[in-house]
A and B are shown apart, each in its own frame.
Chain A
Amino acid sequence: MSVTAADLWRRNRDLADACLEHPFVQGIASGELAIERFRVYVAQDAYFLEAFARGYALALARCPDREGLGVLKDLLVGVFEELQLHRGYAERWGISLSPEPLAATSAYCDFLLSTASLEPSGHTVAAMTPCMRLYAFLGQQLAPKLDPESPYREWVETYSSPDVEALASRLEGLLDRYGGDPERLARLYRRAMELELAFFQAAWEAP
Chain B
Amino acid sequence: MKTRDLISGDAELWHAATHHSFLDGVCEGDLDPAAFSRWLVQDYHFALALTRAEARYLANAPREDFNVLLQGMEAMVAELAWFEEKAKQGSLELTAPVHPTARAYVDYLQATTYEPYAVQLTALWALERAYLEAWRTALPGAPAYREFVEHWTNQAYAAWLDELEVAANRVLAHGGEAERGAFRWIARYERDFWQMAYAGQDD
Contacts and interface: CB of A to CB of B under 8 A. Distances in A.
Contacts of A69: 48, 51-52, 77, 80
A61 B113 contact: yes
A4 B66 CA distance: 32
Nearest to A72: B55
Q: Which of B48, B55, B58, B74 has the most CB of A within 10 A?
A: B55
Interface residues of A, number: 18
B56 A77 contact: no
Contacts of B59: 54-55, 57-58, 61, 116
B77 A57 contact: no
A66 B80 contact: yes
B70 interface: yes
Contacts of B81: 70
Given A76-B70, A77-B74, A54 B58 contact: yes
A153 interface: no
Nearest to A97: B63
A53 B62 CA distance: 12
B53 interface: yes
Interface string B30-68: 000000000000000000100111011011000100110
B73 interface: yes
Q: How many interface residues does chain B have, given as a range? A: 10 to 19
Interface in A29-62: 50, 53-55, 57-58, 60-62
Nearest to A53: B66
Contact of A62 (B52, B70, B73, B74): B52
Interface string A58-97: 1011100010011011001100100000000000000000
A50 B63 contact: yes
Contacts of A57: 55-56, 58-59
A77 B48 CA distance: 19
Contacts of A66: 48, 80
Nearest to A54: B59
Nearest to B81: A70
Nearest to B63: A50
A54 B74 CA distance: 15
Interface of A: 50, 53-55, 57-58, 60-62, 66, 69-70, 72-73, 76-77, 80, 116
5 contacts: A50-B66, A57-B58, A61-B59, A70-B77, A77-B70
Given A54-B58, A61-B53, A80-B67, 6 more contacts: A54-B59, A69-B51, A69-B52, A73-B77, A76-B58, A76-B70
- 8 closest A-B pairs by beta carbon, nearest first, are A57-B59, A61-B55, A60-B55, A57-B58, A57-B55, A54-B59, A61-B56, A61-B52
